[in-house]
Amino acid sequence: MYTALVLDRESQARLKDTFSHVVPFGWKWAGRHMTINLGGPNQGPARDLVGCKYDAIVRTFAIDGRACAVGVEAPLPSVNTIKHVTLAFNELVGGRPKHSKEIAAWSHLSEPFVISGVVEVVA
């Protein structure tokens, strides 16, 4: 279980349309949420945020051998040092969505854009 900004369908589609060409073949697509904390909202900083809609600005992109993600600017707390949405991960080398928070090099996008979602508890 985790608490996250779960992206609406339009935002998920925009991420896939914008970045699927840079995701290596065979990687598993994710692109659904920005984690706020593991567990329910009472176990982190999102106690009063569930059900609220928020926008986030996609500003950076990062990829390594295990995962790729976009860095976002959002008016939400997160347990992650860099707020991000995992786009995809490489299961063939043991990559998991959690590995996106370990990527060291992030590149700024020339044209940042807005995505939206609702804070939800995901089981």
Q: Give the model confidence (pLDDT) of 3-61 as tens digits.
A: 999 999 999 999 999 999 999 999 999 999 999 999 988 888 888 999 999 999 999 99
CA torsion sign, 86 to 88 to 94 to 96?
Answer: positive
Q: Alpha-carbon distance 46 to 56, whole Å?
A: 16
Question: What is the pLDDT, as a whole number, of residue 42?
Answer: 85
Query: Does this model's pTM top 0.85?
Result: yes
Give the pLDDT confidence of 61-82 residue by residue, as tens digits.
Answer: 999 999 999 999 999 999 999 9
CA 82 to chain centre: 10
Question: Do the Cβ atoms of 37 and 80 come closer than 8 Å?
Answer: no
